C-alpha cells in the first residue's frame, strides 16, 4: 500500500462527507479539485505506507477530516477568502459537516462583509433555510435562494424577535424563511408583515395542509397583531373560527394546548365543554384521554375542583395492557358532585327571592 492508495482513501472520505452534508456538489469537477488539494492533504494527514496498518477510512480522526472537507468545499466554490473570514465558524455539527455557508449559490448574493456578519449573528436561520432546499429542482432552488436573499437583504432582522434576549433560542424564527412559506404566503406579504404575523407563520407545523394554512392566513390578515402560543393544529383549526381563535383567553389557550398535547382527537370535546361553560378549567392531569373520554361534555362542564381531584386520584387498572376505566367510580363522583351543586343552587335561589 502506497501514498497514492491512501490519498485516494482520503479523497473518497472527503467526497462522501460533502455529499452527506446535503450541499450542492457536482462530482464531475472532483478531478481538478483533488489535484489542488493533494499538497494540503499531505501536510494535514500522515499518509500511512505500512501494509500492516488498517485502511485510512477506519483510522481517520474527525478532527483531521473536517478541516480538509471544509477547505475542499471552499476551493470547489472559489470561496477561500470567505473561509479565511470564517475562522471562528463552527463547521463541525454532531451529525454532519456544516458546509452550506461556502456554497457560492448563497454566498454570492451578499457582499463578503455583510455575509460574514449575517452568518455570525443568524447562522441557524441560514442553515434551516438551506435545509428546506433539499430535493428541489434547480429552477425552484434558484427562485427560493433569490427570495431568501432579497428578504434578508431588505430586512436583516426579518427572522428575529428582537424583544428576546440574545441567548434566548426563541429569538430566532427558524421556520419562517422556508420554501413552503415563500410559496404560500408570498415574498411581499412576509416582507411587509408584522412581527406577530411572522411569529404565527413560524409556529406552524411544516406538514400543515394548505386548507389549514389558508385559515391561518385569513386569521393573521384580519388580526395583524394577533399572536399567542396556541397550537394551531388541524383539530383546533377545525373547531374554532378565526374570530374565536383571536379572542381566546390565556386560560382557554392553555386548555386547548393541554388537550391537543394529550390527544388531538379530544379537542372537539373540550370545545363543547367550553360552549356549555365558558368558565370551565382543569389541570393538565385531568386532560388524560382516559378521563376525558369517560365523561360527557355536559357532566364535565360544571364539575367542581374537588370532584376533578377525586377523579384524578382514581387508580386506572390495566388488563393485558388494556386500560379498564372504573366508570362506576367516576359516575358516583359525578352524581355526588351534581347533587351538591344543585343543593347550593337551590340555597342561592332562596336567598335571592
3 state SS for 133-173 = CCCCCHHHHHHHHHHHHHHHHHCCCCCECCCCCCCCHHHEC
Q: Tell me the residue length of the chain.
A: 353
For the record, the C-alpha cell of 116 comes out as 460574514
Average of per-residue pLDDT across 73-97: 87
Q: CA-to-CA distance for 206 and 183, rounded, in angstroms?
A: 13
Lookup: cell for 86: 470564517
Residue 229's SS3 state is coil
Grid coordinates of 153: 437583504
Alpha-carbon span 254 to 230, nearest angstrom: 8
Predicted local distance difference test score (pLDDT) of residue 94: 58
Tell me the CA distances in angstroms from 279 to 51, 90, 298, one per residue in order.
79, 51, 14
Tens-digit pLDDT profile for residues 256-299: 999 999 999 999 999 999 999 999 999 999 999 988 988 999 99
pLDDT given at position 95: 61
Model pLDDT, residue 343:
83
Confidence of residue 135 (pLDDT cuts 50, 70, 90): confident
Would you say 151 and 122 are in contact if contact means Cβ atoms under 8 Å apart? no
Q: Which residues of 35-71 are buried (b: 16+ CB within 10 A; e: fewer)?
A: eebeeebeeebebbeeeeeeebeeebeeeebbebbbb
Q: What pTM was computed for the model? A: 0.84
- Of 46-60, 279-293, 319-333, the poorest mean pLDDT is in 46-60
How far apart (Å, rounded) are the C-alpha atoms in residues 41 and 11?
Answer: 9
Confidence of residue 52 (pLDDT cuts 50, 70, 90): very low
What is the three-state SS of 331-342? HHHHHHHHHHHH
The span from the CA of 214 to the CA of 44, in Å, is 54
Which residues, listed in sequence order, are joined to residue 97 by a DSSP beta bridge?
Answer: 92
Q: Is 42 helix (H, G, I), strand (E, B) or coil?
A: helix
Q: Residue written as cell 448574493?
A: 109
Q: What single string gives the DSSP state of each residue in 267-325?
A: HHHHHHHHHH-TT----TGGG-HHHHHHS-HHHHHT--HHHHHHHHHS---EETTEE--
DSSP 55: P
Containing 126, the helix (H) or strand (E) segment is helix 112-131
Place of cell 432579497: 150
Q: What is the structure's pLDDT at 54?
A: 42
Which pLDDT band, with edges at 50, 70 and 90, does 322 fall under? Answer: low
DSSP string, 86-103: TTT---B-SSSB--GGG-
Paired strand residues for 323: 318
On whether the CB atoms of residues 268 and 279 are closer than 8 A, the answer is no
Q: What is the CA radius of gyration of the chain?
A: 29
Is-contact 7 55, C-beta < 8 A?
Answer: no
pLDDT tens digits for 148-177? 999 999 999 999 998 887 667 789 999 999
Could you give the 3-state DSSP secondary structure of residue 224? coil
Amino acid at each position: 500500500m502506497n501514498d497514492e492508495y491512501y490519498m485516494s482513501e482520503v479523497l473518497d472520505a472527503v467526497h462522501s462527507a460533502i455529499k452527506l452534508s446535503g450541499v450542492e456538489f457536482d462530482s464531475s469537477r472532483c478531478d481538478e479539485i483533488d489535484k489542488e488539494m493533494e499538497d494540503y492533504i499531505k501536510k494535514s494527514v500522515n499518509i500511512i505506507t505500512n501494509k500492516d496498518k488498517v485502511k485510512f477510512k477506519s483510522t481517520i480522526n474527525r478532527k483531521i477530516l473536517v478541516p480538509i472537507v471544509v477547505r475542499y468545499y471552499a476551493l470547489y466554490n472559489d470561496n477561500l477568502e470567505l473561509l479565511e473570514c470564517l475562522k471562528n465558524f463552527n463547521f463541525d455539527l454532531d451529525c454532519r459537516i456544516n458546509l452550506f455557508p461556502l456554497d457560492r449559490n448563497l454566498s454570492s448574493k451578499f457582499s463578503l462583509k455583510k455575509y460574514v456578519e449575517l452568518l455570525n449573528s443568524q447562522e441557524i436561520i441560514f442553515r434551516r433555510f438551506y435545509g428546506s432546499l433539499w430535493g428541489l429542482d434547480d429552477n425552484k432552488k434558484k427562485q427560493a435562494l433569490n427570495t431568501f436573499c432579497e428578504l434578508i437583504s431588505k430586512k436583516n432582522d426579518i427572522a428575529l424577535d428582537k424583544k428576546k434576549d440574545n441567548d434566548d433560542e426563541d429569538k430566532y424564527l427558524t421556520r419562517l424563511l422556508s420554501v413552503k412559506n415563500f410559496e404560500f404566503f408570498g415574498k411581499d406579504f412576509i416582507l411587509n408583515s408584522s412581527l406577530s404575523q411572522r411569529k404565527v407563520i413560524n409556529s406552524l407545523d411544516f406538514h400543515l395542509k394548505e386548507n389549514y394554512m389558508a385559515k391561518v392566513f385569513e386569521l393573521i390578515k384580519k388580526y395583524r397583531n394577533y399572536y399567542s402560543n396556541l397550537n394551531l393544529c388541524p383539530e383546533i383549526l377545525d373547531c374554532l373560527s378565526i374570530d374565536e381563535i383571536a379572542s381566546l383567553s390565556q386560560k382557554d389557550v392553555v386548555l386547548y394546548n393541554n388537550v391537543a398535547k394529550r390527544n388531538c382527537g379530544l379537542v372537539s370535546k373540550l370545545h363543547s365543554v367550553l360552549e356549555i361553560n365558558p368558565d370551565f378549567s382543569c389541570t393538565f392531569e385531568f386532560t388524560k384521554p382516559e378521563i376525558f373520554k369517560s365523561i360527557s361534555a355536559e357532566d364535565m362542564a360544571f364539575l367542581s375542583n374537588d370532584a376533578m381531584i377525586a377523579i384524578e386520584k382514581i387508580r386506572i387498572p390495566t388488563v393485558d395492557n388494556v386500560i379498564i376505566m372504573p366508570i362506576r367510580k367516576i359516575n358516583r363522583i359525578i352524581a355526588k358532585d351534581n347533587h351538591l351543586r344543585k343543593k347550593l343552587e337551590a340555597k342561592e335561589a332562596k336567598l335571592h327571592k
